[in-house]
Amino acid sequence: MIKKNNEIKLDVLIVGAGFGGMYMLYKLRELGLKALIVETGEDVGGTWYWNRYPGARCDVESIEYSYSFSEELQQEWNWTSRYSTQSEILKYANHVADRFDLRKDIKFNQRVISSVFKEDLNKWYISTSSGEIYSAQYCIMATGTLSSVKEISFNGLDSYKGDWYVTGNWPHHKIDFTGKKVGIIGTGSSAVQAIPVIAEDAEHLTVFQRTANYSIPAKNRKLTEEEVKKVKSNYSFIRDEAKNARAGIASTVYGTKNVFDISDEERNREFQKKWDYGGTDFNSAFMDIGFDERANDAAANFVRSKIKEIVKDEETAELLSPKTTIACKRLCADTDYFETYNKSNVDLIDINKTPIESLTTNGLKTSKNQFSFDIIIFSTGFDAMTGALTSIDIIGKDGVSLAKKWKEGPRSYLGLCIEGFPNMFTITGPGSPSVLGNMMVAIEQHVEWIIDCIKHMNSNGKKEIEAELTAENEWMDLVEIIASSTLRDTCNSWYVGANVPGKKRVFMPYAGGYQTYREKCDEIAKTNYDGFKIS
């Protein structure tokens, strides 16, 4: 690196050392480009570095939630369970960083504060919290989709004297819940994973629920040596299947019938089969669950009936039974979530009926009761998909900021490039399938597309690529049309930004299926980057 007038010159600056950033760095090095990652954390792993709460696991099977780009890597690494723990995935991320010697090109403990495109120089100037200034032809945002934790803004937080933690930014040391009175706010995927584990040790756990969530038993288990061996000998087939699958997951078996094509008994058998198999592909039992309200209700009723079978107290079971459509929020995969409410040390509070008014010195107060806690856990989610990007002061052409451009919701061509922000790519950005499937498959596809694009630019002596406004508008219209043909926009999920006060309600990911999306991206690359201005 050349350090001149405080400016460190690079070809490419990557923001974030999660799985997206690490693979991007690896591929850029192959091209012989001078690339560097800037990462806020003190090590690699992204999501898996920050989300260390008890019970944190992946909800995509480990075999598939892994890189496919290196045959040696996939042969040497051994996953131990069907759904890996956070610590195992973090070990994997570290192994990848060591194996490919990535750390030497990663600056840890630095946050990117701003990224400004200088039109006269045709370069991005990136400033970090430690005062470094980098210049680069390309800036690649590998900032993650669920990485910007929602602000904790409960009244009286300052007055609370106990310990408090946030699931999405969990401490690196072990928290001992033994003999402690614990309160947890939120019942999304993170809380659904954390609650059963915390309830094992805590003297008492009180769960504050705003919206009940659908959850399917993960049926997690250890993988046998034979299974792992079989997968390894079959990996190329599995990876191909994943690349051509709707959600980027090879193991998902999609039903070929509609819910009401068959008898009640057959339908229940199908639902039961999915329930017994476990995991988040429950909705793929039938073709129309995500599109037809009546079909959706049948699937939802099946899950509600299971909750009522599991949870002994009728009132609690009713409260835990979701009232929204089942395909709307992301399904949770749990281990003993509903069973945990049968424990005598666990209570559930409906904060719609009795809202949280404020935190107090020793706990919190709802409109009905005072609760005292040694520990309060906020599992209140993320400013998903856009938060990590708009928290950086990104300034494109004509001095326009990304936050301003996205005020009425994110705009992007393919979730990869943004009009007015030349030579900037987003990995798994809004407008791409990203969070609607296997993130590892989505990441690899984006990284490889970006690499091909940079190769194309270099081999044609081109310096600048930017999405055209018309192409961006048409793409975002398509994203909206597809989403509105599904039931995805029928509740207040983070997919539509409804969990963040003041955020414009827009369905952010592309819901047309990963395979269709990949084909579209490939076609655009083949037609000399149709929809892009290249100069």
Q: Name the site residues for ligand N01 (rule: CB under 6 A).
A: 57-59, 146, 167-168, 185-191, 193, 210-211, 330, 351, 379-382, 435, 492, 494, 499
481 contacts: CB under 8 Å, gap ≥ 6: none
Tell the smallest beta-carbon distance from residue 186 to ligand N01 (Å). Answer: 3
Tell the smallest beta-carbon distance from residue 357 to ligand N01 (Å). Answer: 12
Closest to ligand N01 by CB, 21 vs 55, is: 55
Closest to ligand N01 by CB, 5 vs 153, is: 153
Closest to ligand N01 by CB, 168 vs 531, is: 168
- What is the spatial distance between Cα 327 and Cα 434, in angstroms, rounded to a whole number? 17
Exposed e or buried b per residue across 45-54, where buried means at least 16 C-beta atoms within 10 angstroms of its C-beta: bbbbbbbbbb
Closest residue to ligand N01, based on beta-carbon distance? 188
| Structural contact between residues 412 and 467, judged by C-beta atoms closer than 8 angstroms | yes
Give the chain's largest Cα–Cα span: 74
Tell the smallest beta-carbon distance from residue 264 to ligand N01 (Å). Answer: 31
Tell the smallest beta-carbon distance from residue 395 to ligand N01 (Å). Answer: 29
Beta strand residue intervals within 386-492, DSSP E? 393-395, 417-418, 421-426, 465-467
Closest to ligand N01 by CB, 40 vs 193, is: 193
CB count within 10 Å of CB 472 equals 21
89 contacts: CB under 8 Å, gap ≥ 6: 45, 48, 58, 62, 65
Number of alpha carbons in the 13 Å side-chain half-sphere of residue 24: 35
**CA Rg value for the chain:** 23
**Tokens linked to 381:** 């989610």
Tell the smallest beta-carbon distance from residue 363 to ligand N01 (Å). Answer: 15
Q: Are strands 393-395 and 112-118 parallel, antiparallel or unpaired?
A: parallel
Closest to ligand N01 by CB, 155 vs 234, is: 155
118 contacts: CB under 8 Å, gap ≥ 6: 124, 125
Closest to ligand N01 by CB, 135 vs 147, is: 147
| Distinct helix (H) and strand (E) counts, the chain | 16, 22
Tell the smallest beta-carbon distance from residue 288 to ligand N01 (Å). Answer: 23
Closest to ligand N01 by CB, 115 vs 493, is: 493
Tell the smallest beta-carbon distance from residue 337 to ligand N01 (Å). Answer: 12
Closest to ligand N01 by CB, 366 vs 515, is: 366
Closest to ligand N01 by CB, 210 vs 257, is: 210
Tell the smallest beta-carbon distance from residue 295 to ligand N01 (Å). Answer: 23
Closest to ligand N01 by CB, 189 vs 340, is: 189
Residue 96: in which H helix or E strand, if any?
Answer: helix 86-99
**Tokens linked to 522:** 């490939």
505 contacts: CB under 8 Å, gap ≥ 6: 409, 496, 497, 498
Tell the smallest beta-carbon distance from residue 57 to ligand N01 (Å). Answer: 5
Tell the smallest beta-carbon distance from residue 327 to ligand N01 (Å). Answer: 13
Q: Which amino acid is at 370?
A: Q
166 contacts: CB under 8 Å, gap ≥ 6: 149, 152, 377, 378, 379, 380
